[in-house]
Amino acid sequence: MDTAHTHPTSDNPPPRSPGFWRRCLAMPIGVQSIIAVGLGALIGTLAPSAGEQMKILGEVFLNLVQVVVLPLVFPLIVLGIARMESVKKVGRIAGKAILYFELVTTVILLIAVGLAKLTGIGKDAPVHGADAKDLDGLSQGIDFHELLLHAVPKNVFAAFSEGNLLGAIVFALLVGVAMAAIGEKSEPFAAVLESVAAVMFKVVGYVIRIAPLGVLGFISYDVAHYGFGNLRSLMGFIAVVYAGLAIVVGVLFPAIAVIYRVRYVDLLRSIAGLAGIAFVTRSSESVLAPLMGRLEAFGLSRSTTSFVVPLGYSFNTDGSVLYQASALVFLANAYGADTSVPALLLMVGVLVILSKGMAGVASASIVVLIAAGNSIGLPAEGIALLLGVDFIVDMARTGVNVIGNSLAAAVVDSSEKRREAKRGTREASRTPAEPEVTALQKEPAQ
């Protein structure tokens, strides 16, 4: 028996097992991100100065994401609207989405206020030790006149360079409607937009692969910069916010999904990795582009997803409004303010209005919180106290924002499909049946 080929030789070396780094890169992004969280917490605790410097990794990741977002979102929205059957359908989908946003936001606010009132959070909070200087530059509130101008920019190129998502959505809406109106003449431009979207999806894939580095940078910075000093005094507030978000994700969203026949568990599985990235980076924008692709793969129509999801990023911040309502009740209890039912309902009404002004505002949740607090007479010093633990609750509310917008797109898409199915049934019933041909009729005339 010839054994020359049965044993490895220098000419025929054994296959090498993949190295350590290759095995790490082969892990799912979610696993890599979890490892990055652990490493980041370790670096931030043991080497705070190095941890603060590592923030640049997170900022580079977010910059790469922001470079891609508008070049991808714009063509998807335009194509989605241009390929709808009519402008009437565009208006119908927009109306459904906005009505859904308003109803769900109001229910979430009521849940948050009720939970915070029931637990009595904030009654022993050390608000007098807070430093209002932490709020410098944030206390200007929200100018709805500026918000409207922000939504309708005078220069679309400036809007793109500034990352003005709301302005880009409005311009894309106009372009899509115009393309639908001129019909076949828009096909060459549509082909260009299709190509741009395909290229941007590929770029997004490259960017998401380095998400764990961004996670490492942000977690290292957060632990090093904020530490865990305020956790003990504000643990009740953190617990209520997380409990409220758990109720929203585990009770409210499944109930909505049942009503609209959305496969909620499958939806969560589909977007879990992206929600996790949003959680640790504290940026829902970091997953906007891949989220739309994931929802389309889940079975939602591109025309609905590419319109509803970006719109929801501006007007449907479920996790953020729950945080704001809990924070206002916390501060009202801390300062001994009125927390009667009428006062709480006023608080909810103020937040329903102000939360829709969050689009395009830096530190949006804090800005809205300050504006709402001022409107009901709460001082800014207490809000400054919450900044110490803001990064902890910000992670959870950002992840819930991603889940909420995904469900919103699924609900609107389900509603549209059910409507089309009913219309198809009605049209089929109106079509006259063909007369039955009998055997005598088939016989040739004699």
* Closest by Cα among 146, 167, 145 to 156: 167
Per-residue pLDDT tens over the stretch 339-380: 788 878 877 877 876 666 454 444 456 666 766 776 667 776
Per-residue pLDDT tens over the stretch 286-330: 788 889 889 999 999 888 888 888 888 877 888 888 988 898 888
* Closest by Cα among 405, 37, 401, 386 to 240: 386
DSSP codes joined into one string, 337-383:
---SHHHHHHHHHHHHHHGGG-TT-TTHHHHHHHHHHHHTT--HHHH
Q: Rounded to an integer, what distance in angstroms lies between the CA atom of residue 362 and that of residue 138? A: 8
Q: Rounded to an integer, what distance in angstroms lies between the CA atom of residue 280 and that of residue 395? A: 6
Query: Which fold, 24-423?
Result: Proton glutamate symport protein (1.10.3860)
Secondary structure of residue 438 in the 3-state scheme: coil
Q: Check residues 45 and 16 and name the one with the higher pLDDT.
A: 45
Q: What share of the chain is helix, strand, coil (3-state, %, to 5)?
A: 80, 0, 20
Q: For the chain, what are the domain ranges?
A: 24-423
Per-residue pLDDT tens over the stretch 133-175: 444 444 444 455 665 776 787 888 887 877 776 777 788 888 8
Q: How many CB atoms lie within 10 A of CB 47?
A: 14
User: Residue 409: what pLDDT?
Assistant: 94
User: Residue 233: what pLDDT?
Assistant: 61
Q: Rounded to an integer, what distance in angstroms lies between the CA atom of residue 363 and that of residue 411? A: 29
Task: Give every CB contact of residue 159 below 8 A, 6+ residues apart in sequence.
Answer: 153, 167, 168, 171
Q: How many CB atoms lie within 10 A of CB 79?
A: 22
User: Residue 177: what pLDDT?
Assistant: 84
Q: Would the pLDDT of 40 be above 70?
A: yes
- What letter represents residue 287's amino acid? V
The overall pTM is greater than 0.85: no
